[in-house]
């Protein structure tokens, strides 16, 4: 693809985030010779992203609502520091259309899709409508928000059904209902949860696919109608809808299905007139049929898995697209599979006691190293993990030419990772690697819960 288009490179980018992802973005900006501005809350004064950025400004108190979620403060910080673009990272304001709009209205580039795409794809029911129009398979469902007639709709779809909040995310406002007797009760609890979390209780219904896999496709689209899709990520290993381990390529997806997935993802992104990087999430049945779930209009936690598999820097790609550059590679080049990669999310949580968060001061920190190991983390010895934010302390990304080698290397890397002072999920990740179903590549979104249940039963027997 020849690029005869002129564009103005960014001079300075503000990162509207914290923790490992802020560091991840700063690293790419440094390589691109772009100055970085970190924003921080009072609880993050000693954070590594503050030290590593070229400039850092305090935007508010510890509570995210007044700092990392404070649109006014972040846009003001961008204006005052003279940033010409804002990178939202993931979480916080990354999928907030009002934020994208406020940044753009201040004359600053938002590194991501425009506010309109975020709001269209952010509401799950409208995203689904776009998918239906684009001919992308969706699970049988209510095709929009349900009213008082939800009983009839549920019967038509056929039980079991999923009750989902229109503005939902992270498993909140979501209920699986296996028979009609439970429907009213499930609907009212899901609605209450949705109201509490999103201030909106519009709900929709979907067929519940039993024993599904969570398969997602990383995509990138430029301003000139070019769209590419990368090899899929298998994120089936989840606990309470939170991903713990992500793998690419999926051991379950064959070459023909892979092409179908990529085509479906591209069609959807084209139909939505989307710009930037994003992720199209699918639910895959044991028959390998797949259904569109949702689009994440941002960079994802697990993006390094794809970076390793395709050998490209996705943050750099985001910046290039936002600067107005054309996609620097073709679909064929994007879909290349250079290795097998896995990511373990290491959280400061006590995995032996119901995953309760364990904030505290890190007294010892020996991250894994060696061939095929990448650790993305903001932690250092003496770092006090604040209680205000999520508990992710490191992402361990391991690569190898083939899956059996990958599992051996992962086991080795987890074994040498030492974190002192706080409890972490490292022991749990080791047990995942010893799970026979996982080793066989036979996973679904229920595997972790089954594993935990088996462990509990085993404990009570002894």
Partner 1 sequence: MDTKLIKEVTDWLKTTDLAEFCYEKDGNCIEVKTQEALPEPAAFACSLTAVTAPAIGIYHAADKGQNIALTEGQLIEQGAPLGVVETVSKKHKITAPVSGKLRVITVREGAVVEFGLPLFFIEPREC
Alpha-carbon distance of 7 to 9, in angstroms, equals 6
Alpha-carbon distance of 323 to 4, in angstroms, equals 14
State the minimum distance, in angstroms, from the CB of residue 55 to partner 1: 11
Of 18, 213, 275, 298, catalytic: 298
- Decide the pairing of beta strands 85-87 and 12-15: parallel
Q: Of 266, 113, 127, 272, nearest to 206 (Cα)?
A: 127
106 or 285, CB closer to partner 1? Answer: 106
Alpha-carbon distance of 200 to 63, in angstroms, equals 23
Contact segment (CB under 8 A) with partner 1 among 56-64, 253-261, 346-354, 403-411 equals 56-64
Cis link prior to 254 (omega < 30° from 0)?
no
Find the Cα–Cα–Cα–Cα dihedral 408, 412, 415, 418, rounded to 10°: -140
| Contact residue for partner 1 among 34, 43, 77, 397 (CB under 8 A) | 77
The 8-class DSSP code of residue 384 comes to B
| Contact residue for partner 1 among 57, 127, 166, 265 (CB under 8 A) | 57
2 or 107, CB closer to partner 1? Answer: 107
Question: Could you tell me which residues are beta bridge partners of residue 361?
Answer: 384
Q: Is 43 among the residues that bind partner 1 (CB under 8 A)?
A: no
Contact segment (CB under 8 A) with partner 1 among 72-80, 167-175, 192-200, 254-262 equals 72-80
Contact segment (CB under 8 A) with partner 1 among 75-83, 167-175, 270-278, 420-428 equals 75-83
Contact segment (CB under 8 A) with partner 1 among 26-34, 59-67, 203-211, 436-444 equals 59-67
State the minimum distance, in angstroms, from the CB of residue 12 to partner 1: 15
| Contact residue for partner 1 among 59, 138, 154, 451 (CB under 8 A) | 59
Q: Which residues contact 288 (CB under 8 A, 6 or more apart)?
A: 252, 253, 254, 257
Q: What mask, x for binding partner 1 by CB under 8 A, covers residues 347 to 386? A: ----------------------------------------
Contact segment (CB under 8 A) with partner 1 among 51-59, 215-223, 237-245, 317-325 equals 51-59
Q: Is 80 among the residues that bind partner 1 (CB under 8 A)?
A: yes
| Contact residue for partner 1 among 19, 60, 89, 372 (CB under 8 A) | 60
Question: Could you tell me which residues are beta bridge partners of residue 357?
Answer: 349
Q: Is 411 among the residues that bind partner 1 (CB under 8 A)?
A: no
At 349, list the tokens.
């949580």
Q: Is 76 among the residues that bind partner 1 (CB under 8 A)?
A: yes
* DSSP state string for 129-183: HHHHHHT--B-SB-SS---TTHHHHHHHH-SSEEEEEEEEETTEEEEEE-SGGGH
CA angle in degrees (0–180, nearest 5) for 43-47-48? 170
State the minimum distance, in angstroms, from the CB of residue 16 to partner 1: 13
Contact segment (CB under 8 A) with partner 1 among 77-85, 165-173, 198-206, 254-262 equals 77-85
Alpha-carbon distance of 140 to 160, in angstroms, equals 11
CA angle in degrees (0–180, nearest 5) for 53-54-60? 60
| Contact residue for partner 1 among 75, 100, 130, 245 (CB under 8 A) | 75
* Count of residues in contact with partner 1, rule CB under 8 A: 16
State the minimum distance, in angstroms, from the CB of residue 48 to partner 1: 19
Give SS3 for 419.
strand
14 or 358, CB closer to partner 1? Answer: 14
Q: Which residues contact 346 (CB under 8 A, 6 or more apart)?
A: 377, 392, 393, 394, 395, 396, 417, 419, 424, 425, 426, 429
Q: Is 37 among the residues that bind partner 1 (CB under 8 A)?
A: no
The 8-class DSSP code of residue 66 comes to G
| Contact residue for partner 1 among 30, 63, 79, 316 (CB under 8 A) | 79
Alpha-carbon distance of 140 to 342, in angstroms, equals 32
Alpha-carbon distance of 88 to 39, in angstroms, equals 11
Q: Is 104 among the residues that bind partner 1 (CB under 8 A)?
A: no
Tell me, yes or no, if 195 is annotated catalytic: no
Q: Is 280 among the residues that bind partner 1 (CB under 8 A)?
A: no
| Contact residue for partner 1 among 15, 16, 43, 73 (CB under 8 A) | 73
Residues near partner 1, by CB under 8 A = 42, 57-61, 67, 72-73, 75-77, 79-80, 102, 106
Active site residues: 298
């Amino acid at each position: 693809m020849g690029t005869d288009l002129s564009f103005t490179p960014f001079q300075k980018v503000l990162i509207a985030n914290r923790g490992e992802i802020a560091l991840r973005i700063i690293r790419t900006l440094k390589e691109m010779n772009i100055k970085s501005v970190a924003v921080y809350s009072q609880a993050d004064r000693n954070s590594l992203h503050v030290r590593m950025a070229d400039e850092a400004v305090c935007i508010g108190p510890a509570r995210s609502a007044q700092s990392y979620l404070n649109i006014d403060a972040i846009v003001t910080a961008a204006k005052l520091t003279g940033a010409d673009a804002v990178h939202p990272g993931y979480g916080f304001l990354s999928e907030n259309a009002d934020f994208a709009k406020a940044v753009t209205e201040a004359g600053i580039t938002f590194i991501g899709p425009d506010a309109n795409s975020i709001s269209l794809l952010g509401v799950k029911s409208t995203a689904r409508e776009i998918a239906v129009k684009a001919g992308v398979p969706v699970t049988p469902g209510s095709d929009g928000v349900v009213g008082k007639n939800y009983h009839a709709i549920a019967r038509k779809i056929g039980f079991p059904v999923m009750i989902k909040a229109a503005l939902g995310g992270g498993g909140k406002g979501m209920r699986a209902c296996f028979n009609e007797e439970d429907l009213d009760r499930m609907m009212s609890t899901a609605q209450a949860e949705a109201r509490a979390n999103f201030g909106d209780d519009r709900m929709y219904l979907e067929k519940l696919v039993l024993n599904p896999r969570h398969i997602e496709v990383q995509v990138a689209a430029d301003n000139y109608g070019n769209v590419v899709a990368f090899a899929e990520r298998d994120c089936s290993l989840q606990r309470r809808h939170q991903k713990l381990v992500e793998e690419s390529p999926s051991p379950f997806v064959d070459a023909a299905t892979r092409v179908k997935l990529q085509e479906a993802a591209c069609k959807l992104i084209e139909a939505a007139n989307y710009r930037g990087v994003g992720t199209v999430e699918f639910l895959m049945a044991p028959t390998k049929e797949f259904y569109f779930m949702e689009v994440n209009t941002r960079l994802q936690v697990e993006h390094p898995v794809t970076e390793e598999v395709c050998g490209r820097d996705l943050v750099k790609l985001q910046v290039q697209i936002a600067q107005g550059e054309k996609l620097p590679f073709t679909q064929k080049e994007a879909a290349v599979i250079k290795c097998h990669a896995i990511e373990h999310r290491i959280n400061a949580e006590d995995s032996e006691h119901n995953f309760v968060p364990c904030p505290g001061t890190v007294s010892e920190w020996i991250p894994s190293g060696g061939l095929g190991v990448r650790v993305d983390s903001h932690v250092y010895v003496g770092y006090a993990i604040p209680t205000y934010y999520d508990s992710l302390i490191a992402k361990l990304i391991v690569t190898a030419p083939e899956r059996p080698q990958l599992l051996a290397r992962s086991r080795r890397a987890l074994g040498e990772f030492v974190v002192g002072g706080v409890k972490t999920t490292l022991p749990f990740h080791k047990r995942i690697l010893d799970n026979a179903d996982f080793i066989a590549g036979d996973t679904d979104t229920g595997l972790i819960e089954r594993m935990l249940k088996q462990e509990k039963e085993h404990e009570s027997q002894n």
